[in-house]
Each structure stands twice: as C-alpha cells, then as structure tokens.
Structure 1
Amino acid sequence: MRLARRAAGLAGAVAAAALSVALVPSAAHAHSLDSSTISLHVSDTEADATVTIAMATLDQALGTDYSSEVDVSSYSDEVVAYLGDHLELTGADGTVWTETFTSLTRESVEGIDSVSVDVVFDTGGASTSGLEIEYDAVIEAIPDHDAVVVLTDAAGQISTPGVLTSSDPTLTVAGDTGSGATPVGLLDMVEYGFQHVLEGADHLMFLTALLLTAPVVVVAGRWRRRTDVAPTLRDLATVVTAFTVGHSATLIAASLGWVQAPTTVVEVLVAVSVGVAAVHAVRPLVPRGEALIAAGFGLVHGLAFAGILTDLGLEGSRSVPPLLAFNLGVELAQLTATAALFPSLYALARTRFYPGVRLVGGCLALVAATGWALERVGLLGNPFRGVEAALVAHPWYVVLGLAVVALTGWALDARQPVRNREAQPGPADLASST
C-alpha cells in the first residue's frame, strides 16, 4: 500500500507539474508559430498569393478568440478585412494593384491550427518583374513575428526572396528566379523542418509515448524494468530509426506526387497514432512492438509533414533538395526531443515510481489523442487547445519539470528501503520476451 501511495503521489506530481506549466496565465495566449507564410505565384502579367497564419497567433494579434469558434463564417469577413488592410502589392511603375480575397479556410497541419486566405491581384496587364510587397499583418502587434515569402515564378521555379519583419515590412520581388530572387535556402528548410516538429504537439506526444516504453521491457505480457542500459539504448535507436524510415518514405513520396491522401484523414490518423502509442505505454499491445508502431504510424506522420511542404508550394521533382533539407530538420528535432526527455525517463525507470509515471504519461497522451481525434472529425472543439499551445510555447519548462521529477524520485528512492519493487526480468524472461 505504501508503494502504491508513493507511486500515485509521484504520478500526481507529474500531472500537476504539467498542468501548472500549461495554465500559466500569460501562456494562454501563446502562439504555435513564430512565422506566417506568403506563397506568392506570378506569371509575366498575373499575380496571386496565399497567406497562412497560425490561428493562435492571429488571436494573439487581434485580441480575439476565433480559434474556439467552429464556424469560420462567423469571423471570416473580419480576418479578410484585416489582411486587406495590411497586405499591398505595388508594380514597378508605382501602381498599387487591386486585391480580391477569397473566403478564409481553416485546417490543421501537423497539429498546427492555421487559417489561409487566397488573394488575386489585378496587375492591369503590367509586368510583375520588380513588384514590391508590403505586409505587416500580425507583425504590427507582435514585433518578433515575421512572414516568410515563398515565390513560384512563371517557369515553376521556387525561391525565397526574403522575410518580412517589423523593421523591414517591404520586399522587392523579381518576377523570375534569374532576376535577383534566391533559390530556396537549404539551411532555411532545415530550420523550417526543425521548427515544425517542435511546434507540432501531436508529433511530440507520439514520440514521447514511445519513449515511455524505452526503459522497460515486456515480460509475460506486462512491463518490467530493464537491468542494463545497453539493450535500452539499442531498442531506443531501433524505434527512432523505424520512425525515421516510416515518415521519410511517405514525406518524399507525397511531396513528389507519388501518393496522396485527404488532409482530414491524415490528421485523424495522426491522432489515432498517439492513442495507440499511449495505450501501448499503459499496457503492451504486442511484445517488443514499439518499432512496429513507430514505423507504421511514421508513414502517417510523413504524409502530414508533406502537407506543410505542399502549402509552401514545394512539391514536384524540382523540390527534392529542399524537401530533403526539410526532412533533415525533422530528424534533428526528433533527436533533440529524444535527447531532452529520455535521460529523465531512464532515471525515473530506475526507481520504484516509474510504473505510476508511465501510467500517468500514457493516460495524458490518450486524453490528448481523443481530443485531437474528436476535433479533426468535426464533432467538437478541442478543449485542451490552451494547454497544448502553452506546452508547445514553453517546451523547456516541460523538460526541466521532468528532470526535477526524476531527481525527486531518485531522492525519495534513496531514503527508504525498497519493498515490493517491480520485478526485474531475469535472463530467461528476457529471452522469452524476444
């Protein structure tokens, strides 16, 4: 009973720490993306664009709560009018081009709830070469925000002419990549992939749920603590590699147009993947099945990543270098998250408290997955959106909080003799579990 109370107490501390981070008042308005995107498409005499902004960021800039409203028509006109006041294209002759906006659309890509608005510019038949774009939506309210301009010219070449900031909200854009625009920066794409993973709550939750099982092993259908670090690291590397192979395959295939899947279906399956990993963390679904789960659902996560590149216009055979750079950023972010979380989880696994920690972690992941799934099939708004945004905005708080819990567990474990410790697997058990 004492063991159960202590395990439950430490598990409760984990939950309390997570909620305390999530419910910091200032974090309720945190945004999930530091950058908006303006995908600009030009021919010799025509121009149009798609402006994409994270929903939470837009709410923060406008002081609204549109992200909680399911019906986009209730605020579409206001958002379109706002963008119209803060976006302007001017021809080389100094003529400001008239704008025609379409209605706002809303979607979730890799767990980031965003709005997109298409706009067509009336050039009057003038050349698009040397056009100037001026944009300060969101930036005027959040000075450290920026907007990345992605240009697709008449020949289909993709480039990144620059980034609009509070100090420089205007940019002269050539009509073709041979007139001064620069090709997509590979380092920029690495950073973009890195950023999107660390801001994708569902991707991070899936990875975390898999990490919960790395320090333990299945024996007779139940989780048991490992006795040696070598097999733990080997299996951890196997899981990470399996996930890498899975999502890299579909990311590349989807970006090159070889496979397609509806965005809603992909996003629902991403939520399902978190739920399956969460259940597996609570009670093993298949012995040593983490690599199988990672590889299988990695295919789904790769399709979600490909949706990000599609929104940027980075699709087709010409985009192979930038999509590989983006994928490298994804891998670096995945390794960063693993390196930040796994040491604390492994330290906790060496104490009597880890069964409770694993149980709470799995249950929290399952609750989050359920919220995402219900939201993405349109049944209800995600009630945990504020918590999700806060945790994504303050990831190091989570890492440090878990480290504190691990140190506390070690201290408590050292002060009292171990009784009824979770049985450790013997050689025969380990052999049978493989």
Structure 2
Amino acid sequence: MSRRPARVAAASIAAGVALAAMPAAVASAHPSETSAVLVTVHQSDVDLELQVPLDRYTLATDTTIEPTDTAVSDAAASIESYVLDHVAVTDADGGLATTVDSVSLDTINSVPTLIVNVTGTADDGSVGESLILAYDVVSERIATHDVYVSLVSDWYSGAVADGEPQLLSVLTSTSKTVGLDRAGSSWWSGFLATVQLGMSHIAEGPDHVLFLGMLLLIAPCLAVATGRGAARWQQAPIKGWRAGGIVRRTALLVSAFTLGHALSLALVSFQLFSPPGMVVETLVALSIVLAAVHALRPLVRRGELLIAAAFGLVHGTAFATTLVEMHLDTGALVGAILGFNVGVELAQLIAVAAILPLLVLAARSTAYRYLRVVLAAGGTIAGSAWAIGVLTGTDSVFSPVFAAIAAAPRVSWGLLAVVCMLVWALGSRERSTSRCHRASFPLSGFSR
C-alpha cells in the first residue's frame, strides 16, 4: 500500500472508531395494562400464548395471587379452569380441542404478567381454512380492558414475518372474536413466502450487504507476495468480464459463504446448536471489520474459501433467529429453511450483479485503490460501531445511517454508481498493474 492511501485509511478509521464509541440514547419501555394473545398456526394445531397482567386477572376473578412463582404455581389449576372457560378456537369443521400446556409468571413492561400457553388441536389432524378465536379473559368483567391479538406465524398460509408479530385485532368487552382467513393454505404457500422473507432479510439487513460489499471490493485484484510471508493487492488486467477470473472467483466465494450460512441456519433452526445472541451479533460485526481490514492488505493468501464458509456459519446463525421465533412444526421448518436459503441466495446474486460491474468499471482506473481504501475504512468503522453497540447494549451514532441505507437501497446503489463512474472517468483508463486493496476474505484466495 502506498503512503497516501495508507494515511487516508488511518485517518478515516481513527475518526470513525472514535465516533463509534459514542452510544446513542436507549429507548425505554412503558407499562401497559392491556393483555396480549400471540397466535401460531401449525398444520394440525394452533398455539396461543396469553399474556395477562396479574392484577387485572385477580380483579376480574375476585382472587388474590401474590406476584411470585410459588403463588402462581399454587393457583395454576384455577387459572387453567378459568382460561378454558373463556377461550375457544374453531375452524370450518367445528371446535378445536383446547388444553392449557403451562402457566407461569413473567414481567412484561415492568408489570407482573401471567403467561398461559394454550393449544387448540384439530380432530382430523388439519386446521381448517376459516379460523376463529373467541376470547374474553378479563374483559368479560372489566369493560375497559383491551386484548391485542397478534399472529406470530401461519406458515402454511404464507403468513410469515421478520420481527414483531402481525397485529390481527384488538378485542374488547363488546368485540370478543377475531377471524383468520387461511384460504389456499399449502406447503408451497409457505415456501414461497419464506423465499420472499429471505430476500427481504438481505435487502433490509445492512450487516449482510456490508459484508458482501467488502468481499466484492477485492474482486478485481490478486494477492501478490512481497516476501517474508507478506502480501499486497494488485489490480488484475481487465479485458471483458472474465479477465482475471473475476466472475469465477466471485462465484466461488459467494457459494462458499452460502454453504456456510445454509449449514448453520439448519443447525440452529432445529435447535441442535444455540449460541448466545450477543456472541453471534458480535462475531457478525467483527466479520465485517476483518473483511474490511483484509481489503487494505491481505491477511491471508490461501484458504479464503474456508474463511468465507466460516463467516457464512456466523451469518447463518444470525439468520436462524428469524425462523426459530416462528415456532414452526417439522414439515414447515424444513420448507422454511429451504425457502429462506433460496431467498438469501437470490438476493445475494442480485446484489453481486448490481455492485460488481460498478467496481470492475472503477478498477480500470489507477484511482480505484483510493476508492477501495475509503470504502474499506468505512467498513471498518461500521463494523466497529456495530460491535461496540452489541457489547454495550446501546445503539451507536451510526445506527441512523444503517437504517437510512436499508430503507433506501436504490439511493445507496445510485450513489455508489456515481462514485464509481467518477473514479473511472477521472482516472487512467489504461490497463493498470498498480496495487489495489480488496475488502473480502474469500476473493484473496486466488493469489499468484
């Protein structure tokens, strides 16, 4: 690396890491006296999680239950009996057999809350297309009590979501039922919905796109030994799309990354492996930092496909949280894993097709190394900010930037296109063998 790009990288990284260490304000939750019902529909049954404020329950039932695990356990039988009298699930074929699976105590929004898990099982082994929930727990005695009913997932009807459950209805003392239309439910509906979910997860997830971008930065480069085990990046001669093996190298790296996250996605989704969330998020952030540093100077000259697969394992573990939170049955989970992977891969290919041509165009100029340095420095800053935010439990000052990029991907791509064209137009258009810095582990594996 020449001294000028090195100074640019050092100054950018130093300033950015200092800003990354500045936490933003953390939002606080507010207590609520409403109840919630979380609905998860499977092929043969319906799971309900009732979240009922303990004080509202005791007021409605004229009972006294202390907010302790022991007191709630002692009252579990009476709570179960009351709930079964005030909760019913029916479909087009009639009522589902309803049972209470568990009763426990939790604290939600600083309020002691009863957690009651209820299952409605279809007699014929298949939940019908027209599903109705009748519910008046607490609201039958307290007229001002509202109940928020939300759908966690109904995979077979294509109702899958990334993030918060989808609000279906707010029940009151006068409005006690909510319906769910499941017309056209099938395995394929769930599969196609999960493909779309996988694609949106990439489009709306700046961490994955940023890591992929760092990988692509070095696509037009080759790792060249400088002696004593060190290496540097050198721009490859570019004549058409296949010059220097750019397309082939990129395809191999993306494929290795995909295989890695597909494996970890399956392992975590089937709960065969459950790493702590903080560890996973920190490793995701660090993968961005290391890929960006690698873009400045090669960290390794061989084995990058294995490294790409290893970081794919990390990112796949993060993806799996989305599927685990859907509480799918085995058949749906298999389809969801397949569909999610297909969606992720399609989104990756679209991103590569959108970004790689711009970088290859810019790499025809000797000024590309400066672009690489600036972008790699930005990746280092972003990854550092991400890691600090995870470890401190706060949002970094860069969070609004991440959110803006995720919210307007076309604008972000447009800005990159303009910058790359300017680099191409202002720099030399002749074949260059000048040094280059690449921001991705996998692409460095093809050294000479």
Q: Does 1:212 align with 2:217?
A: yes
RMSD: 4.6
Aligned-partner SS, 1:286: coil
Cα deviation for residue 291 of structure 1 reads 2.4
Aligned partner of 1:243 among 253, 257, 272: 257
Q: Does 1:389 align with 2:403?
A: yes
Report what 2:31 is aligned to. Answer: none
Q: How does 1:83-102 map to 2 (within 5 A)?
A: none
Aligned 8 A contact 1:193 1:329 in 2: yes
Identity %: 36
C-alpha change, 1:303 and 1:162, in structure 2 (3 Å) is: closer
Q: Does 1:378 align with 2:396?
A: no
Aligned partner of 1:275 among 289, 294, 313: 289
C-alpha change, 1:345 and 1:386, in structure 2 (3 Å) is: same
Report what 1:306 is aligned to. Answer: 320
C-alpha change, 1:218 and 1:313, in structure 2 (3 Å) is: same
Deviations 1:296-352 (A, max 9, x none): 100111111111100111364652112101111111111111111111111111111
Cα deviation for residue 172 of structure 1 reads 1.4
**Matching residue's letter, 1:224:** Q
Report what 1:349 is aligned to. Answer: 363
Cα deviation for residue 102 of structure 1 reads 5.3
- Bigger CA drift: 286-295 or 219-228? 286-295
Distance in 2, matches of 1:246 and 1:419, equals: 36
Q: Which runs of 4+ in 1 moved over 6 A?
A: 41-46, 163-170, 417-421
Aligned 8 A contact 1:41 1:49 in 2: no
C-alpha change, 1:247 and 1:119, in structure 2 (3 Å) is: farther
Cα deviation for residue 290 of structure 1 reads 4.0
Aligned-partner SS, 2:337: helix
Q: How does 1:46-57 map to 2 (within 5 A)?
A: 47-48=48-49
Report what 1:130 is aligned to. Answer: 132
**Matching residue's letter, 1:387:** V
Aligned 8 A contact 1:217 1:288 in 2: no
Report what 1:406 is aligned to. Answer: 420
Unaligned runs of 5+ in 2: 13-36, 52-85, 91-103, 136-149, 171-176, 226-230, 437-443
**Matching residue's letter, 2:289:** G
Q: Does 1:291 align with 2:305?
A: yes
* Number of residue pairs matched by the alignment: 325
Report what 2:66 is aligned to. Answer: none
**Matching residue's letter, 2:233:** W
C-alpha change, 1:431 and 1:254, in structure 2 (3 Å) is: closer
Aligned-partner SS, 1:185: helix
Cα deviation for residue 279 of structure 1 reads 0.8
Aligned 8 A contact 2:302 2:445 in 1: no
Aligned-partner SS, 2:395: coil
Deviations 1:348-379 (A, max 9, x none): 11111111111111111111111111111226
Cα deviation for residue 252 of structure 1 reads 1.4
Aligned-partner SS, 1:222: strand
Normalised TM-score (structure 2): 0.61
Aligned 8 A contact 2:40 2:151 in 1: no
C-alpha change, 1:180 and 1:296, in structure 2 (3 Å) is: closer
Distance in 1, matches of 2:220 and 2:234, equals: 9
Report what 2:235 is aligned to. Answer: 225
**Matching residue's letter, 1:40:** T
Aligned partner of 1:190 among 179, 190, 195: 195
Aligned 8 A contact 1:281 1:358 in 2: yes
C-alpha change, 1:326 and 1:380, in structure 2 (3 Å) is: closer
Unaligned runs of 5+ in 1: 13-36, 51-88, 94-99, 106-117, 134-146, 152-157, 425-429
Distance in 1, matches of 2:354 and 2:362, equals: 14
Distance in 2, matches of 1:261 and 1:347, equals: 41
C-alpha change, 1:318 and 1:398, in structure 2 (3 Å) is: closer
Cα deviation for residue 391 of structure 1 reads 0.7
Normalised TM-score (structure 1): 0.62
Deviations 1:60-106 (A, max 9, x none): xxxxxxxxxxxxxxxxxxxxxxxxxxxxx98579xxxxxx995459x
